[in-house]
Amino acid sequence: MTTNNGAVVDNDLNSVTAGLPGPVLIQDVHLVEKLAHFNRERIPERVVHAKGAGAGGYFEVTKDVSKWTKAKFLSKVGKRTEVFVRFSTVGGEKGSADAERDPRGFAVKFYTEDGNYDLVGNNTPVFFIRDPLKFPDFIHTQKRKPGSNLKDADMFWDFLSLTPESIHQVSILFSDRGTPRTYRNMNGYGSHTYKWYNDAGEHFYVKYHFKTDQGVDNFTMEEAEVMKGKDPDSATRDLYDAIARGDPPSWTLQVQIMTPEEAEEYRFDPFDVTKVWPHGDYPVMDIGRMVLDRNPSNYFAEVEQAAFSPSNFVPGIAASPDKMLQGRLFAYPDAHRYRLGANYTQLPVNAPKAAKMDNYQRDGPMRFDGNLGDGPNYWPNSFGGPEPVPGSGEPMFNVYGKAGRQPYVHPNDDYVQAGDLYRKAMKDQDRTNLVKNIVAHLGNARKDIQIRQVKIFLKADEEYGSRVAEGLGLSAADLA
Ligand code: NDP
């Protein structure tokens, strides 16, 4: 055993004291260092996605997609790329239960030879809001009430009932998919629309779907309630144990592809994250398989310090105009700089593994590589420093219209896909459980808020809304 400066420790059970009873001497630097470091063990908890579990593994290409993207890690059937994945709940604190009703984060870091590519999605194909300006408000309503520090059904449903665009995601969240049985038994979705571009400079829009090879399996509300008490770490434990016993979970990666011409004409706004692209319009295509076969050897080093960001692109992949995505391009790296420091990309789990970071950024707190030595720290230079590679970036693209705070122009669209989910995708038992799960939660909100929310369910589907109203004991007069 040594001190942090590497000197041998002779005794780690007795502090240095003056005489037998004490007092303790300040010259016991080993004691001082141990207490001081302990006080600093915590880093800021993520404000969302605080509770998570992670694993490593690989991604293997099963279909040639080079006509749509020049991303090298997707370039050849059979090509493997190392990945690290973090699953999480969203609203709860770091010690909250894994079986809570909540979306689940599904974040994948591909360590490609072009640099790290992060696909940071959820287990739901859509999101509650389409504009990042609403995000802090939305999350506040899922957290704790300022005065009581309790979760509050009024806050939760007040915001949602004043934000009808949330109805699609609310309907998924309150289906049993809102309580996945394990992380292995859920799908992951890129959720946003992304852009792919090929060697010829043509671009396409893409949606990603990771389909679980273990099969979708969910808790009912009652099962989730029991599991929250029985094992708050149920999903974390399940993932760790499955990998430890040699039963690595896997997912099939599917994509949907849309051309820019189709995007202009499409019946839904293809960049609105509250919408899917129905499979009938854009069939899914299998392109790869992801296997998670390595447990982290240290949770803090690999999972707590893991920093995923949708802004980590590689050549061949870029952002779409999706407003929520645009907000996240800023918010994620900003959160990591706050939580881990300006040099967070040097931490082993975040650093490129198959590529080399080389630029003119220098110094900053906790710079623990060689700070790029004696190389030049400015560009352009005449001393052989790293050079940009012309033509490697995203091809230029057109933007048009007036700048300003633009309201959404198709508000009636907000109900269509929630209705399709209820009528078309769900089976009878799914619908029954959905209504029951909503009634159990919305029933805790104020009556005027219940009424406003039921009117939104009614717009999605008459039967859906009527069943919720009935469950809540609301009369036709209440809803008039
Ligand atoms: P499809 O019948 O082709 O697809 C329906 C999809 O819904 C299924 O493939 C499945 O997605 C998903 N699904 C099935 N049961 C549930 C459930 N209980 N809760 C949530 N999702 C479920 O129809 P469309 O593509 O026309 O979509 C109809 C509705 O299905 C959409 O409005 C949307 O709400 C939902 N959906 C659509 C997805 C898409 O990308 N088109 C993806 C997920 C949901 P999966 O195979 O991904 O498990």
Report whether residue 478 contacts ligand 1, using a CB cutoff of 6 Å.
no
Report whether residue 169 contacts ligand 1, using a CB cutoff of 6 Å.
no
Q: Which residues make Cβ contacts (< 8 Å) with residue 477, sequence separation at least 6?
A: none
CA dihedral for 386, 390, 391, 393, sign (positive or negative) = positive
CA dihedral for 238, 239, 244, 250, sign (positive or negative) = positive
Portions of the chain given CATH number 4.10.91.20? 1-41
Half-sphere exposure in the Cβ direction for 297 (13 Å, CA): 2
- Residue showing tokens 């080079």: 66
52-129+154-160+167-346: CATH architecture: Beta Barrel (2.40)
Portions of the chain given CATH number 2.40.180.10? 52-129+154-160+167-346
Q: Is residue 167 helix, strand or coil?
A: helix
Distance 29 CA to ligand 1 centre (A): 61
How many residues can be counted in the chain?
480
Kindly report, residue by residue over 110-144, the tens digit of the pLDDT. Answer: 999 999 999 999 999 999 999 999 999 999 999 99
Residue nearest to atom 34 of ligand 1 (CA): 421
Kindly report, residue by residue over 432-472, the tens digit of the pLDDT. Answer: 999 999 999 999 999 999 999 999 999 999 999 999 999 99
The whole model's pTM is what? 0.97
Kindly report, residue by residue over 55-82, the tens digit of the pLDDT. Answer: 999 999 999 999 999 999 999 999 999 9
Interatomic CA distance for residues 169 and 412, integer angstroms: 16
Residue nearest to atom 40 of ligand 1 (CA): 276
Q: Are β-strands 317-319 and 52-61 bridged in parallel, bridged antiparallel, or unpaired?
A: unpaired
Catalytic residues: 49, 122
Interatomic CA distance for residues 117 and 74, integer angstroms: 11
Residue 95 CA, chain-centre distance (Å), reads 18
Q: Which CATH number fits domain 1-41: 3.40.1180.10, 3.40.50.720, 4.10.91.20, 3.90.1330.10?
A: 4.10.91.20
Residue 412 has what pLDDT?
A: 77
Nearest Cα residue to 249 out of 240, 260, 257? 240
Report whether residue 255 contacts ligand 1, using a CB cutoff of 6 Å.
no
* Mutate-to-test residue for ligand 1 from 179, 420, 422, highest number of ligand atoms within 8 A of CB: 420
Residue 409 has what pLDDT?
A: 85
- Across the chain, mean pLDDT equals 97
